[in-house]
Amino acid sequence: MVSSEPKGLYISLYLYIFITNKLIQVINMQEEVLHYPRLDTVLMVENVLKKADLAISKNELLRRLPKQIMRQTLNVILDYLEEKGMIMIGEKGILWIHNESPKMKRLLKKSADA
């Protein structure tokens, strides 16, 4: 490498290629969804997660569901719930974090206004 060439250019080029490849992977993943879940399936997964006391793994979640669903469908549901801030996916599993309490909603509203 010639010292007159800027290092920043190579770093920028590397980042551009890396980000482009990641975007292509995301687009390809979106196209691979066989079908999207129905509302009753999403609600069924929500209910199982709400009833769980601790974080549960995906395998345990699939076992607790009253009906069998495809793992890909479960992944789509979990991505949706995580994006909406209803669950948290960590190393130890999936945990329901959404609080529907009216008292909590009032507290959050007051804290946002302050």
Angle, nearest 10°, between helix axes 71-83 and 39-51? 70
Residue whose structure tokens are 């960590």: 90
**What pLDDT score does 69 carry?**
94
Instruction: State the average pLDDT over residues 9-15.
Output: 75
Instruction: Give 57-96 pLDDT, tens digit per residue.
Output: 999 999 999 999 999 999 999 999 999 989 999 999 999 9
Q: Is pTM, for the whole model, over 0.95? A: no
Instruction: State the average pLDDT over residues 21-26.
Output: 75
CATH class of the domain at 39-96: mainly alpha
How far is it, in rounded angstroms, from Cα 40 to Cα 63? 17
- Domain spans, the chain: 1-32, 39-96
**What pLDDT score does 12 carry?**
76
**What pLDDT score does 67 carry?**
95
How far is it, in rounded angstroms, from Cα 58 to Cα 11? 38
How far is it, in rounded angstroms, from Cα 97 to Cα 85? 8
Q: What is the DSSP string of 61-103?
A: HHHHSSS---HHHHHHHHHHHHHTTSEEEETTEEEE-----HH
How far is it, in rounded angstroms, from Cα 75 to Cα 21? 22
